Structures are given as C-alpha cells and as structure tokens.
Amino acid sequence: MFPIPPGTQALLWMNVGAFLLDAYLFDGRLSYELALWPVGSGAPGFMPWQLLTYSFFHQGFAHIFFNMFGLVMFGGDVERVWGRNRFLSYYFTCVLSAGVAQLLFSWIVGSDAPTIGASGGLFGLLLAFALLFPHRKMIFLLLPIPMPAWIFVTFYGLVELYMGVTGTEAGVAHFAHLGGMLGGWLILRYGRGRR
C-alpha cells in the first residue's frame, strides 16, 4: 500500500486541502458554491464545472476520512498497474459519470439538494480494483467474512442499488456511487486503448 503513488497522492492532498480550506477559512462557502447543484435549482444553481469540483468537498471528518482511506487503499494499487495518467483520466471519468447520474436522479425525483464527495470516483476505483485483483481477499464491514474482491465489489454495488431504490440512508448519493461504477465499466469496456 505504501509508498502512495503520485496521482493518488495528488488527489489525497487536493481533497484534504479543499476540506480544510472550506471548513476553516471559508466557513463552508466553497463547498456551497462548488457543490453539484441540480439543473434548475435555486442559487447558486448548476454550473458545468461543478461536475468536477463537487468531488473535492466533503461534509464532516468521517466523510473525508473514509473516502480518502478508500482512495489510498484501492487507488494506489490501481495506479501502480496503470500508471498516473491512465489512473487520473479513469478516476475523473468516474467522477463525471457519477455527477451525471446524480443530476439525472435529482431531476427524476425533483430534488434540489446539492451533492459533494469523492465517492463516485472511489466506486469507479473499486470496480477497477476488483477487475485487476479479482481474488484478493477483502472484508465488508457489515459482514465480516473474507471474500474475493470481485464478490465484495459486486455485493457492495447491489447494496448501493438496494439502498438507492428503497431510499435507505437518506442524504447519501447512492446513484452517484453507481454512476461512478457504470462510468468506470463503460470506459474499461469501450474506451480507447483498453487492455
């Protein structure tokens, strides 16, 4: 897991930096302005750059801690195999697809709530990790049984789908998570230069 490769390290520091700036210097104004707002929502409203900027902001210490822990755990291994450039382009593709999925979901249910967090990109990295290391053992916190990565990620994706459809754990962008996985799968399946 260590040392952390450069692309993963850059994402880690950018997220931590944005979190600290927002919390301690801007009193939440940065995350308010740069969150992903649904199309047609009130001020500040949707702006195209929010499809990337939302991923650098988090609400509370637990939110950023678990996202960054996952980024280092899974992203580092993916980057070691792919290299920095492919890793970063894949990650940001997942962030974009997660944002689009969340915008679509917000439009369908008529939500005006903004979205923040790196989880969409992280779920795309989970998918890539499971495809690169399908037999590596992992443990799901709610079900403490070691299982191969491909089963873990499949199970986790199904849990997210169930929670999104049933509205369990309101305030969590389950469809952004699934959108990140879908974007990752599409780029791996149909992207140029796939291996």
pTM above 0.85?
A: yes
Nearest in space to 177 (alpha carbons), one of 105, 75, 101: 101
For the chain, strand residue ranges (E) read 137-140, 143-148
Closest CA to 118 of 75, 163, 76, 149: 75
**Is 194 a residue whose pLDDT tops 60?**
no
Q: Per residue in 92-112, pLDDT tens?
A: 999 999 999 999 998 988 888
Residue 140 has pLDDT above 70, yes or no: no
Q: Which CATH number fits domain 6-190: 1.20.140.10, 3.40.1160.10, 3.10.450.50, 1.20.1540.10?
A: 1.20.1540.10
What are the tens digits of pLDDT across the range 16-56?
Answer: 999 999 999 999 999 999 999 999 887 788 999 999 999 99
SS3 41: coil
Measured distance CA(28)–CA(114) in Å, rounded: 13
- Domain boundaries of the chain, sorted by first residue: 6-190
pLDDT surpassing 90 at residue 91: yes
Say how many CA atoms lie within 13 Å of 72 toward its Cβ: 14
Give me 107's structure tokens: 């439009």
Q: What is the DSSP string of 108-160?
A: HHT----B--SHHHHHHHHHHHHHHSTTSEEEETTEEEEEEHHHHHHHHHHHH
The answer, yes or no, to whether residue 192 has pLDDT greater than 70, is no
Higher pLDDT, 109 or 165: 109
